[in-house]
Structure 1
C-alpha cells in the first residue's frame, strides 16, 4: 500500500484539528470523571466499567479524533483504510447517541452516567460532534458499500461477550440485554442492534460520497 502524499493543512484544517483535540480532551475528562465517581462508591471492576459500549465508543472516537487531527497537521491525505476506521467509529458513536435517546434516557439515572455533565458529553456531545465532523471535514475518501462488513466486526464481538457474561456471571451493561427479561427479548434487541449498525453504517458510508464543506488540506 502506498503512503498518501503530504501537503499542507489549510487554516480551516488547523481549526478542525484543534477542535478534534479539544473534543478528545473533553471526552477523556468525561470518562475519567465517570470512573472516579464510580471509584468513590466502591471498588471498580474494570471489566464491567469498560464493558459498556458507550465507554468503549467514546474512547475509540477520542483515539480517532487525535489520530485524524495529527494526520491533518502532518499534511497526510486520507486513505481508504483510515476512512474506513473513521466511518466505523463514527457509526459506533452515532448509535450510542440514538440508543441512549430511544432506550436509555427514558430510564432516568439508571440508563445513563451518574455524573451529569459527563453523561451529556458521552451521550449527546460526542455523537453529534462525530456526525458533524464526518459530514464537514474533507479528510475522507469515497467508500463502497461492499466494505460495510467492517462496521459489524467489533459490535459482533462485543455482543458475543455480553451474552456470554450475561449467561455466566450475570453482568450485563444495559437492561434490555438482561437474560432475566427472557432470551426472546434479548435476541430481539440483538437483532435490532444488528439492523441499527447496518442502517447507520450504510448512511455513514453513503455520506462519504457527499462533498465535504471544509477543506482541511491544500490541493
Structure 2
C-alpha cells in the first residue's frame, strides 16, 4: 500500500528534521563535539530509524517485498527505538540536559518510538524473524555500552547520568545488565510480533 510508504517517508523526514534542528540548536549555544552529540543512544537509534523508514518507504513505492536481511535490520532498529522511548519516559524525562527543543524532543523520544512500534505491529509487510537470530539484536547495544564505559573511565564523558562511573561501577553494572535485559525482552517481543499479520501489504 502506497499510503504506508508515504507515512513512513513523512515520519522519516520528521525524524531527520528533528535531528538536524537539535544539532543546529546545540551548535548555537555551545561548540559541537560530534563524538558527544552523536554518542547518545537516542541519537544513534533515531538516525538508524530514519534510514530504516526511508528504505522501507522506497521498497514500498517499488512494490517489492522486504528481504530477510532488511527485515532483521528493521526488527533490531524497532527494538532500539522502542527501548529509547521506554527508557526516556521512565528514567530520563524531566532531568536537566538533553534535547532543549521541546518539539524535537517529543518527536525523537515519543512520536517516533510510538509510530515505529505501531508500524511493526500493524503492517504485515515483513517475514517472521527467525528466533535463531535474536542474538543479533544485542550486538550493537553491547558495543555502544562498551564504548561509553571506556569513555567514562578515560575522558569522563557519559551520555546518561545512570552510566556515570562516579555512581560506582557496581551501580553502573546493574544498569548495564538492566539495559541488556530490556533489549533482549523488547527484542523477543518484536520477534514474536513479526509473526502477526493485522494488515497485509
Which residue is 1:7 aligned to? Answer: none
Aligned to 1:9: none
Do structure 1's residue 151 and structure 2's residue 143 form an aligned pair? Answer: no
Higher relative contact order, structure no. (Cα contacts within 8 Å, ≥ 6 residues apart): 1
- After TM superposition, the score normalised by the length of structure 2 is 0.97
Secondary structure at 1:113 match in 2 = coil
Alignment of 1:31 onto 2:5: no
- CA shift for structure 1 position 157: 0.7
**Alignment partner, residue 42 of structure 2:** 54
2:66 aligned with 1:82, yes or no?
A: no
Q: Deviations over 1:122-170 (max 9, x none)?
A: 0000100010111111220011222101101111110000000000000
Cα distance in 1 for partners of 2:176, 2:94 equals 19
- Using the TM superposition, give the Cα deviation of residue 81 of structure 1 relative to its aligned residue in structure 2, in angstroms: 1.3
Give the unaligned 5+ runs of structure 2: none
The alignment's TM-score, normalised by the length of structure 1, stands at 0.90
Matches within 5 A, 1:128-147: 128-147=114-133
Partners in 2 of 1:32 and 1:26 — Cα distance?
A: 10
Distance of 2:198 and 2:128 partners within structure 1:
11
- Report the Cα offset of residue 211 of structure 1: 1.4
Count of matched residue pairs = 201
Q: Which residue of 1 aligns with 2:149?
A: 163
Q: Structure 1 regions of 5+ residues with no counterpart?
A: 1-12
Asked if structure 1 preserves the Cα contact closer than 8 Å seen for 2:124 and 2:196, the reply is: no
* SS of the residue 1:148 aligns to: helix
1:192 aligns with 2:178: yes
Secondary structure of 1:62's counterpart equals helix
Cα shift at 1:106 = 4.0
